[in-house]
Structure 1
Amino acid sequence: MESTPTPEPRRTVDVASLKALAHPLRVRILDIISQLGPQTSGTLAEILGESTGSTSYHLRQLAKHDFLREVEGRGSARERWWDRPRGSLQIVTRELADNPATSEAAQLVSREFEYRRAAALADFMDHGWLQESREWSEAATVSTTNIRLTAAQLAEVSERLEAFAMDLVNEIRNRGELAGARPVQIHLNAFPLAAGRTTGAATQPEEKP
């Protein structure tokens, strides 16, 4: 008998948590850990070019609002490992974006995540097709479909595509990680992230992971 895939937990971020996340460095830390898995203040400092004191402070703030958790049984009192709880995050809702008390925070968080998504795709488009091995470049897809829809039809497409994607991702996750696995980012595009580093981590000009 086949086992039923475990449903992916889903969390909608509240006002206090959104305001706590509304710092560019915290968004970047959350995104890096989402991409690469558990990190320490030291490994993040190296990736981001920040001090360990700074990354340690922001890690604690993210953990305070349950964006991150300490990895039990790994590290020491002086070197703590942090990971994301399993599940999806709905970072910005229409209510938060329309609320004058949270609109600025919602805009900052949404803009920062969008910048990082765009940077990851741009990096793959500029380098991935030619620099990745044939195995990885042929496994990736970057596709666009144009169609005229009503708002109700668009909602149906969005809901069904997201449901299908999450069912497929959960099914694969539940099989366990295989040798040779590496970070992959899926929008409706699906492509390997730049090997050995994260995209969008460098200093940049002045939504839902």
Structure 2
Amino acid sequence: MEENSKTRELRVLGVAELRALGHPLRMRIFDILSQHGPQTSSTLAELTGESSGSTSYHLRILAKQDLIREIPERSAGRERWWERPKGSTSFGDTEDTRTPAGRAALQAATAEFHRLRTDELIDFFTRRVYREPEEWREAASSYSTTAKMTPAQLTELGARISTLVTEAGERYRDQEGDDVRVVSIRADLFPLSPLGGAS
């Protein structure tokens, strides 16, 4: 899994970082900081429905792995502000993740990554879409199809989609305006299990 970018520095996460992100609340906090910018333990508590003591604890674990960092110039007294450093992260297939413990950490982080994104997708298209202004309802979309392809063809398609997604991210990531909102841009490309095969 990768937040893709050509110009942003790419960090391939190791087992310790993956273990940190394998926890549901830590992945949620990581996503909120990625999507909505700096937060405190108190604002994160409001957004997640957890106590500020709990969010503070999980923030420290994420910070220990350099997945997030404190913003000293914005922090004052007991109020500490946290942000996710700029750059892309990848749940890569590395030598460390090929061990049983590494594979378990990779699977846990991957499961949380996809669970959150699937929950967001279902929530929008089954509930929130009806409360959105018409222009946002019409702009939102979800596409799916199947095809019979070779690995080379799927790789080539992935590269084309990656270029398009990356260009949109770089162009609009820091855009401001009255009608600007954070949006999700995603694509999933993978082979299906053969009929009768292992799931």
Across the aligned residues of Structure 1 and Structure 2, the Cα RMSD in angstroms comes to: 2.2
- TM-superposed CA distance for 1:165, in Å, is 0.7
Matches within 5 A, 1:178-193: 178-188=177-187
| Amino acid paired to 1:9 | E
- Any idea what the Cα deviations from partners look like across 1:114-154, whole Å, max 9, x if unmatched? 11111100011102432211111111121113221101111
Distance in 1 (alpha carbons) for counterparts of 2:22 and 2:6: 31
* 1:26-175 to 2 correspondences below 5 Å: 26-93=26-93, 95=95, 97-173=97-173
Give the fraction of aligned pairs with identical amino acids, expressed as a percent. 44
How big is the shift at 1:100?
0.9
Q: Are the counterparts in 2 of residues 41 and 55 from structure 1 also a CA contact under 8 Å?
A: yes
CA contact (8 A) 1:68 1:84 kept: yes
- Residue 124 of structure 1 aligns to which amino acid in structure 2? F
Q: Does structure 2 conserve the Cα–Cα contact (< 8 Å) formed by 1:13 and 1:91?
A: yes
SS in 2 for 1:11: strand
> Helix, strand or coil for the counterpart of 2:25?
helix
Query: Number of residues paired by the alignment?
Result: 184
Q: Which runs of 5+ in 1 are unaligned?
A: 190-209
Q: TM-score if structure 2 supplies the norm length?
A: 0.82
Q: TM-score, normalised by structure 1?
A: 0.79
Which stretches in structure 2 are left out of the alignment for 5+ residues? 189-199
| Structure (1 or 2) with the greater strand fraction | 1
Corresponding residue of 2:191: none
Q: Distance in 2 between matches of 1:99 and 1:10?
A: 23
Please give the secondary structure, in 1, of the residue aligned with 2:127.
helix
Quick one: structure 1 residues 36 and 112, their matched pair in 2 at CA, closer, same or farther if it must change by over 3 Å? same
